[in-house]
Structure 1
Amino acid sequence: MKSVKQHSPLSRLIISSLAFLLFFSLNLSAQEGDAANGEKIFKSVCAACHKLDKKLVGPALQGVTERRDQDWLIAWIKDSPGMIKSGDKLAIQVFEENNRLPMTANPQLSDQDIIDVLAYTKGDSAAPVAAASQQAADPGVELGKAVFKANCAACHKLEGKLIGPELLKITDKRELSWLKLWIKDNNALAASGDKLAIEVQASNPAAMTPFPQLSDEDIDNVLKYLAVGDVEQAVASSASSTDQEIFDNPGFGVLPTLALTILAFILLSVIVAATTNKKVVEGEESTPSMLKTMIFNPFLRFLVIIFVLLGGAWMVFGYLFQIDVNEGYQPIQPIAFSHAVHAGDNKIDCQYCHSSAKHSKTSGIPTLNVCMNCHKSISEYNGALFGDYSKEDLDNEIQKIYDAVGWDKDNVAYIEGFEQKPIEWVRIHNLADFAYYNHAQHVTVAGLDCQKCHGPVETMHEMKQFSPLTMGWCIDCHRQTEVDMTENGYYKNIHDQLSKKYGVEKITEAQMGGLECGKCHY
């Protein structure tokens, strides 16, 4: 008969204690949020209505865990409509505070998913801090990167096929001595009968340029770079919180003007009451109270009526003047196109994309063919991150262009028979139909920079309407802008006549007829 060894009470206690500690540690780790995973969930589920640092459709969520209990937040995110129906006071309060906008329930999220999202809203770094890299330790890697960009980047990328194959970690696939001979003169290497060189040439129909001008040290540095790639830590760039204001000439202001008007009315009332507050009763003068005189004086009652009518008309007129003044309008676009990256970091001229601005009334929306001039060979984003986007997010934004035009980035070719789809951009600047504006007149004839009206677009990640575009704003510009006619013989006679008429050396656009109604309204 087989004997069974019994555990002593002490050993059973130790085993139970260890099991409890293991369960407790696992449970504790489950409650700790993974900010990196939370960022991915936030961008796929929450980013349509929320941002961390400012209000979008819903409120800003940064630091929300400091304002609300975690258990309540988990229940709210999972089923906010159900909490409101159940009569939860805080849920009803939040619903009312956000203009009764319903929040979508997310029953598909687990508790741990929501804890991860909440960890991300705390501002915890989603990217681990990079250790000191080989690139930082070996200056040859940085030198190799410069040589690669100057000589190799037209045909190769580190990751992904371009004209030639990707080269990251190529040193793990080929011997260094062979790679040096191949880079120096691949044709000579193949002509010598090297089997690998002949095989590589046969598998890549595009001939590779030889580089006899590169020194052995240059090639060594390039191979060091290809071995490690771009390992520097990406640093998120933050957009400036305030933009430079143009035409920022604040007037006296509506409220101070209204206050002075009311003060003047009260002062006039007191003067009128003081001069009419005496009356004769049975041969004797009596002095009624100032307040009584102000209430029952017919002139003052008439003055009050006039003041109310004029003040009301003035306030209504001022309110109506603000209709369709969309300064600061910043809609969400179908692709996260950044002017700061294209016009700022990469110095792309505005008229490369908006080419019709110098020839026609409108500036034009660039076709996707214009985008593909560059993005045939730029399929990933390697610049500084911005907003709440990760590198993966921005790579996916570029992919949206490929999905619209039917570009196969792996085979570097358009998909045959693909039905292209236009990108439906949201218009930002929109003048009234009764106002005529011509871009060519301002860009080509007047020589104005785009920033004059559109602001510092080279600093804007998300494009917005910078100027009010009101008639008063245009008129102020015409009054201030001097017209340079010295380089245009057609204007010389006009300039001389107007200079004598106004007694100035340079005339303004307003003096040239820029205030005539028919120029913009005809």
Structure 2
Amino acid sequence: MKSVKQHSPLSRLVVNSLAFLLLFSLNLSAQDGNVANGEKLFKSTCAACHKLDKKLVGPALKGVTERREQDWLISWIKDSPGMIKSGDKLAIQVFEENNKLPMTPNPHLSDQDIIDILAYTKGEPASKETATVAQEVDPGVEIGKQIFKTNCAACHKLEGKLIGPELLKITDKREADWLKAWIKDNNALVASGDKLAKEVQESTPAAMTPFPQLSDEDLDNLLKYLAVGDVKPAVAATSSSTDVEIFENPGIGVLTSLVLTILAFLLLSIIVAATTNKKVVEGEESTESMLKSMIFNPFLRFLAVIFGLLLGAWLLFGWLLQIDVNEGYQPIQPIAFSHAVHAGDNKIDCQYCHSSAKHSKTSGVPTANVCMNCHKSISEYNGELFGGHSKEDLDNEIQKIYDAVGWDKENVQYIEGYEEKPIEWVRIHNLADFAYYNHSQHVTVAGLACQKCHGPVEEMHDMYQYSPLTMGWCIDCHRTTEVDMTENGYYKNIHDQLAKKYGVEKVTEAQMGGLECGKCHY
């Protein structure tokens, strides 16, 4: 009979205490927020309505953990409408304090995600991570990447299903010799009776194109790329173009001209006072007498009144001229769409998305279906990062399009019966209602490039209003823009008559009637 050794009560107490301390320490470590991850989540989830240091749509969030308990904040962020309906007093109070603006629930965030966000709202800098050592990349990987883009990218992605399966790390699942034979001529491999080839062919809905033109070296490089994927070298941070002042206003400036005007008035007052002062003390003019002349001289007082009225009118008129001049206006958009990536890097023509600019008064906002023409097969971002976004952040921005139209990227199809949601873009360029502007007249007839008014959009990650869009700005353009009528027979006779009248080879838009009030204010 075996004897069972029983632990003493003291030993059991020690063991239980140690276990409790271990679990407690693990729990504390889990509760520590990752500031770097919290910053990414904050930018992708919260930044549309909140800032850390000041109010946006919602209140400033810096130090919110000092005002609210963590468990309450986690519940609030996950499902604020549910907390309000449950009758939570603090939730109702917060809701009413913020003008009863509903907060979007975030049930997709885990507790740890929210803890990371709350750690970021404390305003403490992220801990410095150990710098990664740049690894040497086999030059064959880059060659393989080009082969993949040329031959495979129409049906495959590295990660995620397209027409065919994802190919990242495929070399871990299949032998290299088999993969080479399959890529070169999969039909011949199936005909040879290869069991694996038959299984793959049966599991794939579409037949794969053979590539007999690829050499063994090409295939080796392709497999190298599929084994490691995209390896990007670290890029040193550079200041963006938005850090540099966009506009430089030439001229002496408003303040300088104001100072010069005041000095001119004072100089005139002194001259008038000196010429009217006839009291002389020992051959020199009395300073006291000159000051009295300046104060009591009727002409100078009249001049001061006129100057004050003109100055007031000038300041008032200058202030009125700034109303609704939104040069540099740059609102936060619901999706981080980058014109620099689409129009700049990918060379997409402006009129592919804004097609109505050629035919109608407005340029129009493209529908999400236009976006899906490309994004059916582009579900992730693989370009250079911008705006402090991570790759995960930008992939989530693409997902917002899918959420709007109901696209299942895993099965590569639209979700049947899905209720589409409009993307609420914020308008940037907006003329006054009493000003008429026709895009087609400028784009199609005049042949102007979009950049003429909208600036270098191909360099803008976040779109902003480049030009002031004031009447003076439009008139200056009409005065300097020559009308090209070499391919427009309708205007030829008019042009010949006006060219003869003004003695020029080419007439400007102003000479064609571009300064008539009724052109824009009929």
Q: Same fold (TM over 0.5)?
A: yes
State the match for 2:515 in structure 1. 515
Residue deviations 1:302-331 (CA, integer Å, cap 9, x gap)? 222221112111111110110000000000
Q: How does 1:99-138 map to 2 (within 5 A)?
A: 113=116, 117=120, 122=125, 129-133=131-135, 136-138=136-138
The alpha-carbon distance between structure 1 residues 56 and 406, as it changes in their structure 2 partners (threshold 3 A), is same
Residues 1:352 and 1:186: Cα distance change in structure 2 (over 3 Å): same
Q: Within 1, Cα distance between the matches of 2:46 and 2:418?
A: 33
Aligned to 1:299: 299
Deviation at 1:56, TM superposition (A): 8.6
Post-superposition CA distance 1:244-265 (Å, at most 9, x none): 857x662332212212221222
Change (3 A) 1:194 1:48: same
* Structural mapping, 1:282-321, within 5 Å: 289-321=289-321
Deviation at 1:239, TM superposition (A): 2.6
Give the structure 2 partner of residue 241 of structure 1. 242
| Aligned counterpart, 1:454 | 454
Deviation at 1:440, TM superposition (A): 0.9
Gap change, CA 1:45 and 1:347, over 3 Å in 2: closer
Corresponding residue for residue 147 of structure 2: 147
State the Cα deviation string for residues 465-520 of structure 1 (Å, max 9, x = none): 00000000001111111112233233222222212221222221111111111111
3-state secondary structure, aligned to 1:484:
coil
Look up the equivalent residue of 1:342 and give its one-letter code.
H
Instruction: Tell me the matched-pair count.
Output: 471
Change (3 A) 1:42 1:412: closer
User: SS at the partner of 2:242?
Assistant: coil
Question: Which residue does the alignment assign to 1:360?
Answer: 360
Distance change in 2, residues 1:380/1:436 (3 Å):
same
Shift of 1:77: 3.9
Normalising to structure 2: TM-score of the pair?
Answer: 0.79
Structure 1 residue 78 and structure 2 residue 65: aligned? yes
1:49-96 residue CA offsets vs partner (Å, 9 max, x unmatched): 6779x98949xx9xxxxxxxxxxx99x3423699xxxxxxxxxxxxxx
| Cα shift at 1:272 | 2.2
Of 401-410 and 137-146, deviating more is 137-146
1:7 counterpart residue number: none
Map residues 43-54 of structure 1 onto 2, 5 A cutoff: 43=43, 47-48=47-48
Amino acid at match of 1:163: I
**CA-atom RMSD in angstroms:** 4.1
User: Would you say 1:496 and 2:496 are equivalent positions?
Assistant: yes
Q: 1:287 to 1:163 in 2, by over 3 A?
A: closer
What SS does structure 2 have at the residue aligned with 1:187? helix
TM-aligned CA distance change 1:123 to 1:237, over 3 Å = farther
Distance 1:493 1:132 in 2: 68
Aligned equivalents of 1:279, 1:173: Cα separation in 2:
109
**Deviation of residue 47 (structure 1)?**
3.3
**Which consecutive residues of structure 2, in runs of 5 or more, have no partner in the other structure?**
8-21, 70-97, 100-110
> What's the CA shift string for 1:190-221, capped at 9, x where partnerless?
12222211111111111111111111221121
Q: Distance in 2 between matches of 1:243 and 1:288?
A: 53
Higher mean displacement: 151-160 or 438-447 = 438-447
Alignment of 1:121-200 (within 5 A): 122=125, 129-133=131-135, 136-200=136-200
Gap change, CA 1:307 and 1:344, over 3 Å in 2: same
> What is the rounded CA distance, in whole Å, between the counterparts of 1:487 and 1:114 in structure 2?
60
Inter-partner Cα distance in structure 2 for 1:187 and 1:220: 21
| Equivalent pair of 2:35/2:116 in contact (CA under 8 Å) | no
Would you say the 8 A contact 1:239–1:459 is kept in 2?
no
SS in 2 for 1:388: coil
Cα 1:417/1:237, change in 2 over 3 Å: farther
Distance in 2 between the 1:331 and 1:367 partners?
19
CA distance in 1, matches of 2:511, 2:346: 39
Identify the residue that residue 221 of structure 2 maps to in structure 1.
221
Residue of structure 1 in register with 2:381 after alignment: 381
- The answer for the alignment partner of 2:485 in structure 1 is 485
- Cα distance 1:139–1:45, how it changes in 2: closer, same or farther (>3 A)? closer
**1:428 is matched with which residue?**
428
Alignment correspondent of 2:328: 328
1:373–1:468 distance in 2 versus 1, CA, 3 Å: same
* Partner in structure 2 of residue 65 of structure 1: none
> Aligned equivalents of 2:345 and 2:113: distance in 1?
41
Amino acid at match of 2:242: S
Query: In structure 2, what is the Cα distance between the partners aligned to 1:157 and 1:498?
Result: 60
One-letter amino acid of the counterpart of residue 79, structure 1? E
Alignment check: 8 A CA contact 1:278 1:286 kept: no
Q: Which stretch shifts more, 345-354 or 503-512?
A: 503-512
2:415 is matched with 415
Are the equivalent residues in 1 in contact too, given 2:361–2:438 (CA < 8 A)? yes
Asked whether the equivalents of residues 31 and 115 of structure 1 are also in contact (C-alpha less than 8 Å), the reply is no
Q: Which amino acid aligns with 1:219?
A: L
Q: Is the 8 A contact 1:234 1:385 kept in 2?
A: no
SS in 2 for 1:159: coil
Distance 1:297 1:319 in 2: 33
Alignment deviations for residues 326-377 of structure 1 (CA, whole Å, 9 cap, x no partner): 0000000010000011011111110110011111111111111110010000
Stretch deviating more after TM superposition (394-403 or 209-218): 209-218
